Amino acid sequence: MKKKLLYISSLFMIALSSCSQGTKQYNATSYTFNLASLGQNVDFHTDLQRQYIEKVDYTSTSGIASGSSAKDAPLAINLSWEATPDKGNGSDYYMVDVFEGNDDYPLYSLKTYEDKLDIYNLKINTNYSYQVTACYENSSTKFTSEKSEFKTTDKGPRNLLINNVINVRDLGGHGIKQGLIYRSGRFNESDGTTKIDQTTIDVATKDLKIKTEIDLRRFEENGNITASPLGESVNYHHLPMYYGGNNVLTYVGEHSGVTYDNPAQIKNFFELLADERNYPVDFHCAIGKDRTGCMAYLIEALCGMDEEYLYRDYLFSNFAKISGICEIADIDDRYGATLKNYEGDTLQEKTFNYLENVIGVSKTNLETIQDILIDK
């Protein structure tokens, strides 16, 4: 009887051992990676955007963009790879590290369960590299690839993707340092509600590192907010200005019982830009077209960017759903004409002199802004 029980027990142990061996996960002992090579001119502009960027006649977006639909977002840059375990089971997920230039610390460190990853908002004319690490959920075992290098297009503007925010661009890339000053549409609606979510906030504050929001909307437009919808880490400054088809640069007058003094607010605007602690800065009005367009023009002109790029940056707003259209006359017949008729040999000198002598920004502050922003 004892022999029979021992025999049954032995069979049970054999079966248990066999079952355990069949379900045990064996991590790979080595890995082979093949990362896609993206090359030296990786573009994130859409075909339509590129059509305008390369258009010889930069004074019009006719037939390309008219402000009637959302075409302003950039394309994703696609990273992809093949990863093969030489022995054992494949990884559970991948960590993808993206590096800017020769930096050792990754700009992005992103998790994916696929063998590809889309990334947005890289700078123009910049060297990057990426590497992939195969990881296991319940093990410290990991295998890391070599880096694959690529370089982004040198064509601007650097249009950006922030969910539920329209008309977002970096002023940098052509004479201005990238990653310091952004233009955009509003972050919240005029009734105080907002469509942005935590993803939007993370992109704005962690990826773009925005520290200061300058809101140019009128009192009845900003929803009576006193703090940035982007969160406590972002300083909020409300500098209400009126447009209404007038010259943004010079307007002083009353609207809906409220007096607006645009030159005074422009002075306040540039005083904020003269404090290096405020950067990176995002400035906006409602849709990022008129008041925002004027401030962008002043900054770009002050930093010596050529007139063609000033026009292209302004007209690029036609790719956003702005329910209207930007035209060169908006600039030339208003603030552009005011600046060009002022004293100075170049547009940069004229803008500097106007901001100092008419707006009242100190020479020291203007030179400080140039030192902060100009990419020398």
For the domain 30-66+75-152, what is the CATH code?
2.60.40.10
CATH class of this structure's domain 158-373 = alpha beta
Convert the pLDDT of each residue in 15-32 to its tens digit.
Answer: 333 333 333 457 888 899
pLDDT score of 22: 38
pLDDT score of 10: 36
Q: Exposed e or buried b for every residue in 28-49, given b needs 16+ CB within 10 A?
A: beebebebeebeeebbbbeeeb
Q: Any idea of the CA torsion for 145, 146, 147, 149, to the nearest 10 degrees? A: -120
Say whether pLDDT at 13 is over 70.
Answer: no
For residue 81 the two structure tokens come to 């790879």
pTM of the model: 0.91
Sheet harboring 212-215: ordered strands across? 158-159, 169-170, 181-184, 281-284, 212-215, 235-238
Q: Are strands 212-215 and 235-238 parallel, antiparallel or unpaired?
A: parallel
Convert the pLDDT of each residue in 137-165 to its tens digit.
Answer: 988 989 999 999 999 999 999 999 999 99
Q: Are strands 93-100 and 30-35 parallel, antiparallel or unpaired?
A: unpaired
113 vs 68: CA distance, rounded Å: 37
pLDDT score of 8: 33
What angle do helix axes 291-302 and 262-273 make, rounded to 10 degrees?
A: 50
User: What are the backbone angles phi and psi of residue 195, rounded to the nearest 5°?
Assistant: -105, -5
Helices H, strands E: what count in the chain? 10, 17
Domain positions in the chain: 30-66+75-152, 158-373
The span from the first CA to the last CA of the chain, in angstroms, equals: 94
Q: How many CA atoms lie within 13 A of 26 on its CB side?
A: 10
What is the average per-residue pLDDT within 95-113? 95
Convert the pLDDT of each residue in 205-254 to its tens digit.
Answer: 999 999 999 999 999 999 999 999 999 999 999 999 999 889 999 999 99
Whether the CA torsion 327, 333, 58, 372 is positive or negative: it is negative
DSSP string, 268-285: HHHHHHT-GGG-SEEEE-
Say whether pLDDT at 6 is over 60.
Answer: no
H or E segment to which residue 323 belongs? none
Q: How many CA atoms lie within 13 A of 98 on its CB side?
A: 22
Contact 231, 205 (CB under 8 A): yes
